[in-house]
Amino acid sequence: MSKTPAIGAAELPALRRRINAVLIASQILGGLGVATGIALAAVLAQEVSGTEALSGLAPTATVAGTALLSVPLAALMTARGRRPGLVLAYLIGALGAGVVVLAAVVGSFPLLLLGMAGFGAASSANLQARFAAADLAEPERRGRAISTVVWATTIGAVLGPNIASPAGRSVSGIGIPAAAGPFLWAAGVFLVSAVLVLVLLRPDPLLTARALSPADRSPAGRSLRAGVRAVRESPMAQLALVTVAVSHTAMVSIMSMTPVALSHHGAGIQLIGLVISGHIAGMYAFSPLMGWLADRIGRLAVIGLAAGLLSTAALLAGTAGPSHGRTAFGLFLLGLGWSAGLVSGSTLLTDSVPQPARAAVQGLSDLTMNTAAGLGGAAAGLVVAQAGYGWLNAIGAALLLPMAALAVRRAMTRA
């Protein structure tokens, strides 16, 4: 483990601001890279595979890659700190984006899925950064600390889908399909993110938090097994895991197939980019509000808000038909509900387990949410091909019922 300099109480506020500034900058870049590529992932998959039924597998492979890398990245962070884990995740994401471009050029669908899985490592970095912001935050401001870093993704994530079209045009003369152009740009952005974190995220926030906590001295309490035990012993941690998993699954499943549904109703790449931009704005732009609400009115109340927003979004998008405006508003609410679920669930999870086990539990959380979303995304393409986009939204809404019931149960128990 790397040495961490002693930090006094008087130095903490400045250190928090500096660490957050680096995390915010990396989130802007990471969000730009992920959103630029993912906007046309399903379209590219349909072009390479030649069938709509397999189009949902591209974003699903990204989610699967994020899930599979969550535990090893969490293990690396547990042993060495946040910085090495984030840097490695961005580098794998850049490599994955490059493989996607190669797959599009040679027309290999299996290679495309492999590249998309590697691309998902950048999403893992973006997700883990929210916990890095919480490492040094005061408990009463933890929701706002997490939400500020989530919010930072807004800038890059909203711009990303809108530069997908020029990114595609930029490669037209070099033999790369237009739908793969955004992935070439994403690879460069991820490399810049890796360098930024490597050089500037010092001292490491997780190692610093451990150095400041007399309770966090035993490596035995930091294992994945200890994390599983901590969740098993905490009903609130269980609710937190369910919240982030269900919110993410509903969002990924519906969002990943929306570009295909829009294209069926005559929408072009530019309009699809605008709809996805609005969705991503809902995901990130209002996260500070969700963090403030989680700190002020409580984590459970915001979980209830997430359930309401997500179910309303599914109703609007699932019944929109050719109304692009209604689809766009539904996707905006879908992003807003995801934000409420992610921020409140992540904050509640961090609150509910001992500090030594937090890094392991946070990795377990990302594994759970992305595995569930991967399964949902894999099924999404088949559902749309066999039953339609409306049924996909209905199933997404049904997934929210267990989350809402568990939240009500925990609230009644606490009362």
Quickly tell me which residue has 């879908």 as its tokens: 334
Could you give the 3-state DSSP secondary structure of residue 400?
Answer: helix
194-229 pLDDT, tens digit per residue, is: 999 999 999 999 988 888 876 555 565 667 787 888
18-70 pLDDT, tens digit per residue, is: 999 999 999 999 989 998 887 778 788 888 988 877 877 887 788 788 888 88
DSSP letter string over 8-33? Answer: -GGGHHHHHHHHHHHHHHHHHHHHHH
pLDDT greater at residue 393 or residue 359: 393
- Residue 183's nearest CA partner among 171, 173, 193 is 171
CB atoms within 10 A of CB 340: 30
Question: CA 57 from chain center: how many Å?
Answer: 17
Residue 362 sits at the vertex; the CA angle it makes with 257 and 346, to the nearest 5 degrees, is 65
Q: Which residues contact 274 (CB under 8 A, 6 or more apart)?
A: 161, 162, 328
Could you give the 3-state DSSP secondary structure of residue 135?
Answer: coil
State the Cα–Cα distance between residues 217 and 280, nearest whole angstrom: 40
Token couple for 200: 């500037």
Amino acid at 80: R
Token couple for 233: 């012993």
State the Cα–Cα distance between residues 265 and 162, nearest whole angstrom: 20
pLDDT greater at residue 378 or residue 104: 104
State the Cα–Cα distance between residues 375 and 384, nearest whole angstrom: 15
Token couple for 342: 């992610």
Confidence of residue 1 (pLDDT cuts 50, 70, 90): very low
Dihedral, CA of residue 137, residue 143, residue 146 and residue 152, to nearest 10: -120
State the Cα–Cα distance between residues 372 and 252, nearest whole angstrom: 10
DSSP letter string over 28-79? Answer: HHHHHHHHHHHTTHHHHHHHHHS-GGGTTHHHHHHHHHHHHHHHHHHHHHHH
Mean pLDDT of 246-256: 91
77-121 pLDDT, tens digit per residue, is: 888 899 999 999 999 999 999 999 999 999 999 999 999 999 999
Mean pLDDT of 309-338: 93
Tell me what pLDDT residue 11 has.
82
